[in-house]
Amino acid sequence: MKLILTILTAVITAALSASGFAASHREAPLIALDPAADITDVYAFRSWENPDSVIFIMNVIPGQEPSSGPNYFNFDDDVAYDINLDTDQDGKADDIIYRIRFQTQIRPPFNDLPVSYAGVDNVKGLPPSIRDLDGPGSAGLGLRQKYTVTEISKGHSRLLNQDFMFTVPSNIGPRTIADYEDLTERGIYDIKGIYQLKNGGRVFAGQRDETFYIDLGAVFDTLNFRRAKPILQDNEDANDGVNPFGNDMFSGFNVNTIALEVPIDQILDDLHDKNKKIIGMYGSTSRPRLKILGQGKAKTVGGFVQVARMANPLVNELIIGTGSKDRWNATDPEDEKQFLNFYLNPRLADLINLAFDTNFATTGRTDLVSVLLKYPGQKANKCDAYNPCSELLRLDVGIDPTPPDSQKRLGVLAGDPAGFPNGRRPNDDVTDIALRVVAGALRGPVPNLGDGVNFNIGAPGSQVTSNGIYQAFPFLPTPHDGRNRRHIDCGESRANPCK
């Protein structure tokens, strides 16, 4: 399989002349070929556990059916998973890069067995349930991934982990993994580096519940929402714990997560002006640059080629034209000027108008340019050195975090300044926010547009609030296990009708 992926990557790299795949929940033509590099979601927010720290999360490998054995879901050893930061507001997210790389091990005796994981207590000849990532409690962990976290800043690199760190495997089932939440805790590591990070930091890599909630099938069936006009009543809009008419089609699915906690003063130390509290970030995945040798062979020729990127949610899905999606993913955010037409003249606004007989503005949308491509105070009608057009997720680290029980799914639109588009938290309802912003919510009042899905239904784990928010690091709920997984589908208990 690895050889096939290597050759496939080489062929596509050559065909696109160093362009790449696409990112986020399969929204561009080529991403289905490379799920391990498919960035589904990116988050950046101040921690409500430790307000002196900022959290960066990148998810990959979309739509994981928990029971998909015997080969489950792993990060790719050949992919560089990067968190890219712009700390001086020049639109170039190269001031600090956190790079995560993985290495897969097949541990004896599993190299001679047909499965990668096995465990059951009190059965002679079989390893006990997996209770640890290393040592005696990890005997049933036949396929194991270790990883490194490297900080790249100002041309210098430093390793942030001094000992081995291991990913938490897919949640296979309660016999194989006796206590998944405890195993998760064992997969949270301190990162200190050669020079200790001030106040410390933490990292987690492994499987989590798919927290992005959306009526996916309805939205992409040409806006075929389950209400004639997808408008929430005021009381429905204010209820963050009930789905008024939509169905969460990611219910019961999992995703692979990299979560990184970094002290804010570690990032601020790299700011030229410490009065600037707003940072920009994006997540990217890159593969080694390859050269075609002929006869189905390829070799690495040095460096990495970016194959996917993501900052603000739903940009490539709902704003960028299909013919440009793959090129967009291979382009750095600082070069967003070439895609400016898609922001100024949003095609989604045209589609909404045609579908629902509305009259939302479809041209001259500098409001979209301001919120998605600019820092505060920069001019929306210019793309130059002083007013760069760069598609970054921007976070004001000077704004206090909102506790989980007080968070509003509509973020800034609902008066919660710590939510999207000020960074992004896992439970921010970016679908409804995006629909309203495209309709013109930043220019004046618009209807309560939405897909009818207000929260992450069925999220498992002991740390989950009533509206699906996981309260502790790594801030995404426990993944569904393969044996007992449950998709809450339309027409079932707790779900809305399928109509």
Contact (Cβ atoms closer than 8 angstroms) between residue 140 and residue 117: yes
Contact (Cβ atoms closer than 8 angstroms) between residue 418 and residue 424: no
pLDDT digits (tens, 9 = 90+) for 314-358: 999 899 998 999 999 999 999 999 999 999 999 999 999 999 999
DSSP state of 288: E
Nearest one of 348, 344, 313, 306 to 327, comparing CA atoms = 306
CA atoms within 13 A on the CB side of 462: 6
Strands 297-310 and 278-294: antiparallel
pLDDT band, very low/low/confident/very high, at 4 (cuts 50, 70, 90): very low
Contact (Cβ atoms closer than 8 angstroms) between residue 399 and residue 408: no
pLDDT exceeding 90 applies to what percent of the chain? Answer: 79
Does the pLDDT value for residue 298 go beyond 80? no
pLDDT band, very low/low/confident/very high, at 126 (cuts 50, 70, 90): confident
Token duo for residue 156? 């210098």
Round to whole Å and give the CA distance between 377 and 278.
Answer: 12
Neighbours of 405 (CB within 10 A): 10
pLDDT confidence of residue 297: 64
pLDDT confidence of residue 313: 95
Round to whole Å and give the CA distance between 315 and 433.
Answer: 12
* Mean per-residue pLDDT, 83-96: 96
Round to whole Å and give the CA distance between 24 and 73.
Answer: 17
pLDDT confidence of residue 468: 85
pLDDT digits (tens, 9 = 90+) for 181-191: 999 999 999 98
How many helices (H) and strands (E) in the chain?
A: 11, 13
Alpha-carbon 362 to chain mean position: 29
Residue 3 vs residue 132, higher pLDDT: 132
Which single residue is written with the structure tokens 């206090």?
Answer: 400
pLDDT confidence of residue 163: 83
pLDDT confidence of residue 23: 33
Which single residue is written with the structure tokens 């997984």?
Answer: 485
Does the pLDDT value for residue 105 go beyond 50? yes
pLDDT confidence of residue 31: 57
Neighbours of 379 (CB within 10 A): 13
Farthest CA pair distance, the chain:
71
pLDDT confidence of residue 198: 45
* Mean per-residue pLDDT, 398-407: 95
pLDDT band, very low/low/confident/very high, at 299 (cuts 50, 70, 90): low
Does the pLDDT value for residue 438 go beyond 70? yes
CA distances from 312 to 24, 46, 332, 373 (A): 11, 17, 14, 10
DSSP state of 472: S
pLDDT digits (tens, 9 = 90+) for 51-67: 999 999 999 999 999 99
Does the pLDDT value for residue 103 go beyond 70? yes
pLDDT band, very low/low/confident/very high, at 432 (cuts 50, 70, 90): very high
pLDDT confidence of residue 350: 95
Token duo for residue 138? 């990890």
* Mean per-residue pLDDT, 366-378: 96
Does the pLDDT value for residue 273 go beyond 80? no
Give me the amino acid identity at 75.
Answer: F
pLDDT band, very low/low/confident/very high, at 303 (cuts 50, 70, 90): confident
Give me the amino acid identity at 90.
Answer: D
Does the pLDDT value for residue 18 go beyond 70? no
Token duo for residue 359? 């009259």
Contact (Cβ atoms closer than 8 angstroms) between residue 105 and residue 210: no
Does the pLDDT value for residue 13 go beyond 70? no
* Mean per-residue pLDDT, 22-46: 75
pLDDT confidence of residue 14: 36
pLDDT band, very low/low/confident/very high, at 164 (cuts 50, 70, 90): confident
pLDDT confidence of residue 25: 60
> What is the overall mean pLDDT for the chain?
89
Token duo for residue 102? 């993985």
Does the pLDDT value for residue 231 go beyond 80? yes
Neighbours of 196 (CB within 10 A): 11
Residue 251 vs residue 293, higher pLDDT: 251
CA distances from 18 to 10, 124, 128, 209, 329 (A): 10, 53, 47, 33, 11
Token duo for residue 362? 């479809």
pLDDT band, very low/low/confident/very high, at 289 (cuts 50, 70, 90): confident
* Mean per-residue pLDDT, 175-183: 97
pLDDT confidence of residue 293: 63
Domain locations in the chain as residue ranges: 2-439
pLDDT confidence of residue 197: 47
Round to whole Å and give the CA distance between 200 and 192.
Answer: 6
pLDDT confidence of residue 329: 93
Round to whole Å and give the CA distance between 322 and 42.
Answer: 21
Does the pLDDT value for residue 417 go beyond 90? yes
Say what the pTM is: 0.92
Contacts of 132 (CB under 8 A, 6+ apart): 138, 183, 186
Strands 165-166 and 156-159: unpaired
Token duo for residue 250? 């990611």
pLDDT band, very low/low/confident/very high, at 193 (cuts 50, 70, 90): low
